[in-house]
Structure formats: structure tokens, C-alpha cells
Amino acid sequence: DAPIKQDFVRQIVRDDIASGKHTAIRTRFPPEPNGYLHIGHAKAICLDFGIADEFGGVCNLRMDDTNPSREDIEYVTAIQEDVRWLGYEWNELRHSSDYFEVFYLGAEKLIEQGDAFVCDLTAEQVREYRGSLTEPGRESPWRNRSVEENLDLFRRMRAGEFAEGAHTLRAKIDMASGNINLRDPAIYRIRHLAHQNTGDAWCIYPMYDYAHALGDAVEGITHSLCTLEFEDHRPLYDWCVDRVDLAGHPELLRPLTEQGMPLEAAKPRQIEFSRLNINYTVMSKRKLMALVQSGLVDGWDDPRMPTLLGLRRRGYTPASLRLFVERLGVSKVNSVIDFSVLEGCLREDLDVSAARRMAVIDPLKVTLTNLQDGHGESLEFPNHPKDESFGSRQVPFSNRLWIERDDFAEVPPKGFKRLVPGGEVRLRGAGIMRCDEVIKDADGTVIELRCSMDPESRPGMEGANRKIKGTIHWVSAEHAVATEVRLYDRLFSVADPDDNSDGQSYEDHLNPESRRTVTGYIEPAAADAKPEQSWQFERLGYFVADRQDHSPQRPVFNRSVTLRDIWAA
Ligand code: ATP
Ligand code: MG
Ligand code: MG
């Protein structure tokens, strides 16, 4: 059984159940469909859905689509796919825009209560009137309009009588508040824009804080988890929930219940936790969008992107990402997580779940002179060194092999344990080979090694156990399948690409080595991979069959992660 998680959010939920405050837990994951989800969102998803699961509750997926200018159905679809891929299923799929009519009725209620007014100040004036941290704001000259005038203007805003910016609806709270979010924040603005879900039905759109609070209340959310930057917004969140009071006014929900939408409004509680930040990458959707649009990466699913789609194509598994989030824990302290933690989680998962295969990605030709041409042999290899349930496979062996170029050194560096002229090395699972002759081209580049097998060292023979320092992997050149191998590395070469104190922007810090494409050779049983299947190529790392481009006839593998952390040194 999984250990019980003990973070502060789960403690609050546990206490709320123990005290009888809630009998059923409801959470939601509320992405704005203005881009693809990234690894930061995975943290929120695992928390929102994970807590609902652990406490026998439910979690909704809510498209927080209140800003039509940046939202698109493409993202709405992609977000659903990503959440399912991570392994979660929502209770209900909702859109904030499903609730626009309720939000509107809530705003009329605020106006009738004297809690909101239509303001004619321009955006610039609003900023001027708002004051600062050290200076109280000034009240809008439109703040004391009558309820009738406010209602009339707000209805005409909705009817489309006014240009963008001509009016806003503002909450009437406190221009002297120490919390600037409470200085009569706008709750509606005019936008003559089509919306991806509601089309042309609306030309006024609710602001985030108002819509978010009410959306949570509509859905009966008990614990509304969000990131720390919303801590200052919590008083406004509570104000919206309390003043509109959907739980106490079911009549406001009629536009939805009439459509048969099952609802049980409640008073939600907002709880903030720290955002996930990882070094060597950027995470804001705006910057990721810019990378895609400028062609600096190949798309949202580029295997170097920290998007869920990019990580997926890179070979990250849902289990590895869930493990990562679990390992991070949940707290209120912002920090930057080292990229290697993420890579470590992938290694940990794939070590257990990926079968082993042999591949050579920087090939050097070897001819075994004491084996016949056309010598064909089939060797049995276990598919996993630690797990017999993976079974075994046959690996063809012949007198022509490929080995890794850097497993041979004419002038070996100190401590080199692999093949040298006149020296011996173990060919994994096949026997011991001696290098008899080094063949070079006119430029002096080594192009072939002529070697011989120790006949007493073949599998099953006594001499196979002879002690030898180095073991290398190989593939039979007669049988190998040529493959495209994409060697991915970190997208940025500096730990904090967002740091622009040197006058450079994140685009200046792209790692020029973040992708290299080479042709390698793989054993036949590796070519069979289904798209998205991962192998450990022995001694090289974990590789995944590219989900778009791979086929057994024309294999394409992406390096997901090396076997060891090559950035640590
Ligand atoms: P970005 O700033 O990258 O555009 P966002 O916060 O605007 O992200 P949303 O679509 O609004 O993106 O986010 C949906 C949910 O995911 C929110 O609850 C948000 O707090 C959470 N979330 C977003 N980024 C992170 C992160 N880096 N770490 C943890 N949670 C995050
Ligand atoms: Mg957001
Ligand atoms: Mg955003």
C-alpha cells in the first residue's frame, strides 16, 4: 500500500472530514485553455485529482475560459487528452463559460445589494485611482450611482450598446484596503469577441477572480487548490463567494438546473500551495508559445519542451511524472527543483518497466576473422536483468558486428577498461574478443577493427567466466536494423534561462546541442517496438519509439534520458 501522504493540504482535508465540516470532498483542476499543459500543471493535476481519489471524493475538469482573446478549442481538446494520459478521469467536464448566465445573475444581485457599480473610468484612470502599497486609492466618481442606473447600464453593457473600455462593472469594496485586490476590482468588462464555447452570445466577460470563486461555488467545490500567487486574492475570492452566496440562493442557479445540470452549490475554501519551478527550462505558457511560434522548437510536442505532450514524446511515462510530483511534496515554500530530479524519476520508473535491448549509435565496424562469413548464430538474452517475467529473446550474432566507436581507444586514457589494440574485451553475452588489427582510412580515421573470438569463451563454456575488465555491447551488422536516433538534451544551457540581468533573454540561452540526429543500428527485436514503447539500450540510456515517426520498417527512437546524470559534474 502507498504510504499516507502528510502534506498540509491533505491535513486540512482530513481535519474537515473528521470535524464533520464535509462528508464528501470535491476538487477541480481549472486550466485556462490558452496553451498546452506543462509539467507545472502536472503538480496541480496530481494534487487536485489525487486528493479527490484518496478521500473518496470527486474532481472536475474545468476549462477556465473567461478570456476569449487567447483561448482556443485546440487547447480544450489537448488538455483533456493530457489529463487522461497522466492517468486521471474527471467527474465532470465543465467550462466556466457554462456558468456565464449564473455569473451574470450574481452580478445583478451584487448591484441590487449595493455591492457593485458601473464605472466609466478608463483603464489608465483606474490604475491612477488605485493607489499603491503605501498610498490608499481614491474612489471612482461613478461609485455612488443608484442601483437603478447601475442595473440599466449593466444590462445595456450586456446588450452590446457600448464600445470596449467604455464601462466596467466593479465590486464596491474598499479603496483604502491594504490589499490592493480589494480596491474596487473590476468584475466584468466589455469584449466584442467571439468565444470558443459561447460564440457570440456574450460581449461582456467576467474577470478571473469573480468567475473563479463563483465557478467553484457553483460546482460545490470544498477545497479549491491554487498556487501561492493567489494568496492575496483570497479575501476577494471569499468576498465574491459570500456576497453572491450561491449556496443560499438556489434561484440564481436556475439557468443551469433548467438545462438538467446537476448542481449543489457550496462555500468553497481556497488553499494555496507553491508553484513548481524547474531549472534549465521555462514554464510560462506565454514563453512556451513564443518558442513554438518562432520555430525555435518543432511544436508544443517537441521532445525538449516541458509540456506534457513534449515530455510524453520524449519518453516520459505518466508513472514517472506522478512519482516526481509525489517526491516534490506540497508546501508553501517556493523553490526551484533541479532538472535531474525529474530525470531520476524517469530512470527509476523505466529501470523497472523497460525491457533491455542492444543498439549502437556511433558505429565502428568489427570483423571477427576466426568466424566464417555467413556464420549465423542466435544467442538467448534475458529481457530484464532483475525481472524474469520479462522473458528472453534471441539475438543474432555473426562475424560482422557494430560496436560503439568510443568503446575502442587506440591510445587509451588512464583507467580505460575497454578495447585497445592487442587487448581483450567481453562482448556482452557472446564471448571474449581480441583486437588484432586496426584499419584506418587515408586520413587516419579508424574504420574497422579486425578481431578474433576466444573459442573457449563462447556462451556456456568454461572459459566464458574468464575474468576480463571491460564488457561492451554490440549488434550483428548482418542483422541489425538501421535506425534514426534523436539525441535530446536540455533545451537551455543555463540553469535560469529567465534571468535576464545580463541583458539576454531566454531565447539567447538555448542549448545548441539540445538535439542531434544520428543513424544507429539496433538488434531486430528492438525495431519491433510499438510507438511510445521504451527500451533501455544497454549502456546508452532509455529510448522511446517516436510516437509520430517510428515504424518497425523505419525505426525512429528518441533518447529520453541517459543512464547517469551527465550534468552533475
Ligand atoms: P502559466 O503561468 O504557465 O500560464 P497558469 O497558472 O496561468 O500557468 P492555468 O491554466 O491557469 O495556468 O493553470 C491551471 C492550474 O494549474 C492552476 O490551478 C494553477 O495554479 C496550476 N499551475 C499552473 N502552473 C503551475 C506550476 N508551475 N506549479 C503548480 N501548479 C501550477
Ligand atoms: Mg491562470
Ligand atoms: Mg496564465
Q: In sequence order, what DSSP letters do the residues of 118-178 get, joined into one string?
A: EE---HHHHHHHH--SSS-----TTTT--HHHHHHHHHHHHHT-S-TTS-EEEE---TT-S
Q: For 174, what's the count of Cα atoms within 13 Å in the CB-facing half-sphere?
A: 9
Mean pLDDT of 461-490: 95
Tell me: pLDDT of 235 over 90. yes
The answer to whether the complex's ipTM is over 0.90 is: yes
The third-level CATH classification (topology) of the domain covering 8-273 is Rossmann fold (3.40.50)
Predicted local confidence at residue 454, as pLDDT:
96
pLDDT surpasses 80 at 254: yes
Nearest CA to 341 out of 565, 569, 45, 82 is that of 565
CA distance 202 to 198: 7
Question: Domain 285-355+482-561 in CATH: superfamily?
Answer: Ribosomal Protein L25; Chain P (2.40.240.10)
SS3 512: coil
Atom of ligand 1 at shortest distance to CA of 43?
29
Pocket test for ligand 1, best of 209, 227, 342, 498 (most atoms within 8 A of CB): 227
213, 186 contact by CB (below 8 A): no
pLDDT digits (tens, 9 = 90+) for 327-381: 999 999 988 999 999 999 999 999 999 999 999 999 999 999 999 887 889 999 9
Domain segments of the chain: what residues? 8-273, 285-355+482-561, 359-472
Q: Can you tell me the distance from the alpha carbon of 474 to that of 361, in angstroms, rounded to the nearest whole number?
A: 10
Q: What are the respective helix, strand and coil percentages of the chain, to the nearest 5?
A: 30, 25, 45
Record the cell numbers describing residue 302, joined without a space. Answer: 517537441
CATH superfamily of the domain spanning 359-472: Ribosomal Protein L25; Chain P (2.40.240.10)
Which member of 5, 130, 267, 275 is catalytic? 275
Comparing C-alpha atoms, which of 386, 424, 569, 567 is closest to residue 492? 567
**267 belongs to the catalytic site:** no
285-355+482-561 and 359-472 share one fold: yes
Give yes or no for residue 511 having a pLDDT over 90.
Answer: yes
Identify the pLDDT of residue 373. 84
Q: What is the whole-number distance in angstroms between the Cα of residue 287 and the centre of ligand 1?
A: 13
pLDDT of residue 1: 54
Q: How far is CA 321 from the centre of its chain?
A: 8
Which residue's CA is minimally distant from atom 9 of ligand 1? 31
Q: How many CB atoms lie within 10 A of CB 201?
A: 11
Q: Closest ligand to 282 CA?
A: 1
C-alpha cell at 265: 452549490
Centroid of ligand 2 to alpha carbon of 227 (angstroms): 9
> Distance between CA 171 and CA 187 in Å, rounded?
6
CA distances from 489 to 290, 338, 404, 563 (A): 20, 15, 20, 13
Mean pLDDT of the 76-104 span:
98
Task: Spell out which residues line ligand 1, taking CB within 6 angstroms.
Answer: 30-32, 40-41, 43-44, 64, 226-227, 275-276, 283-285
- C-beta contacts of 378-387 below 8 A and 24+ residues apart: 379/429, 379/430, 379/459, 381/356, 381/429, 382/356, 383/355, 383/356, 384/355, 384/356, 385/356, 387/352
The pLDDT mean for the chain works out to 96
Please give the pLDDT value at position 569: 47
Paired with 368 in beta bridges are 451
Quick one: pLDDT at residue 568?
Answer: 61
Distance CA 274, CA 227 (A): 6
Q: What is the pLDDT of residues 398-445, one digit of tens each?
A: 999 999 999 999 999 999 999 999 999 999 999 999 999 999 999 999
Q: Over range 47-62, report the average pLDDT.
A: 97
Strands (E), 274-371: 276-278, 335-337, 355-357, 359-360, 363-368
Pocket test for ligand 1, best of 29, 32, 41 (most atoms within 8 A of CB): 41
Phi and psi at 257, nearest 5°, equal -65, -30
* Residue of minimum CA distance from atom 27 in ligand 1: 40
Q: How confident is the model at residue 508 (pLDDT cuts 50, 70, 90)?
A: confident
Buried b (16+ CB within 10 A) or exposed e, 248-285: eeeebbebbeeeebebebbbbbbbbbbebbbbbbbbeb
Q: Give CA–CA dist 426/419, Å, rounded.
A: 9
Please name which of 33, 25, 24, 18 lies closest in space to residue 49, comparing C-alpha atoms: 25
